[in-house]
Structure 1
Amino acid sequence: MEIRRIAQAEAVHAAGHLFDTPPVPEATERFLADERHHLLIAYVDGAPAGMVTGVEMTHPDKGTEMFLYELGVDEPFRGRGVGRALVSALADLSRERGCYGLWTATDEDNPAALATYRRAGGVPEAGQVALTWTFDLP
């Protein structure tokens, strides 16, 4: 397995099957243009097998932390350590970038994600609740 940090839209679109929906060209360009946005793709025998995205977040009294935005592993490669390797690679990149930590959220009824994050060193934060706002866009 080889994990590459992606900076070219062509690589994103070639791995489009790893995302929830096909990547949008304008959003892909905007994501890649921001040095605080990170996309890592794992390749197995040259094929895109998984991806993880991270976004650096800075706050005046806390410094910078990395938000693990999304993790996706293609079905044939699940259960083979691809997800764990991607999360670990993002954690390494976070340290290199001077982040004080890495965090993510997932559904409590997603045992595969929870197991992957725990195997990569993540610890559940007790007492946390995720709240969302959804906006209707024109």
Structure 2
Amino acid sequence: MEIRRATTVAEVTAAGHLFDGPARPEWARRFLDTPGHHLFLAYEEGADVPVGFISGVETIHPDKGVEMFLYELAVAEEHRGRGTGRALIQALAALAEERGCYGMWVGVDTDNDPALAAYRSAGARDEGEFSSLNWSFR
């Protein structure tokens, strides 16, 4: 297993099968060019197509400092249960520490057992119930 930071639009679009929808090159470029936005890809030994990804965004607040928001994690179904998710989470956490973040957080549905297992195996603690309220502008 190799974890690499995505630096090109081609790398991001090659991971399109892992996203909820196809990666749009103009959005991929904007993501990669925006400071504090990070995307790691997981590859099987010798493979060119990623089998997993994790994205994170640094958030900052005047009274708290910087923390990492784990935006999204995905591992191809046939590669789950092999530690790929945990390795991706650990890579993002290591980057967060390196960049001086005081912590990292993720929102996850309480019935998403595979995600919960991956986060817990990488050292995350459950802080209880969580409600997500959203505004849609499209």
Q: TM-score range by the shorter chain?
A: over 0.9
Between 1:40-49 and 1:60-69, the stretch displaced more is 40-49
Cα distance in 2 for partners of 1:31, 1:7 equals 10
Q: Which residue of 2 aligns with 1:91?
A: 93
Q: Which residue of 1 aligns with 2:43?
A: 43
Query: Which aligned pairs between 1:83-122 and structure 2 lie closer than 5 A?
Result: 83-122=85-124
Q: Which residue of 1 aligns with 2:21?
A: 21
Cα distance in 1 for partners of 2:111, 2:103 equals 24
User: Which runs of 5 or more residues in structure 1 are unaligned?
Assistant: none
Distance 1:33 1:115, change over 3 A: same
Match of 1:11, SS?
helix
User: Which runs of 5 or more residues in structure 2 are unaligned?
Assistant: none
Q: CA deviation at 1:127?
A: 4.3
Cα distance in 1 for partners of 2:20, 2:98 equals 28
Q: CA deviation at 1:126?
A: 2.0
Q: Which residue of 2 aligns with 1:129?
A: 131
TM-score (norm 2): 0.95
Q: CA deviation at 1:76?
A: 1.3
Structure 1 runs of 4+ with >6 Å offset: none
Choose which of 69, 72, 78 in structure 1 pairs with 2:71. Answer: 69
Aligned length: 136
Q: CA deviation at 1:128?
A: 3.2
Cα distance in 2 for partners of 1:24, 1:13 equals 7
Q: 1:29-51: CA deviations, max 9, x gaps?
A: 10000120000001002231100
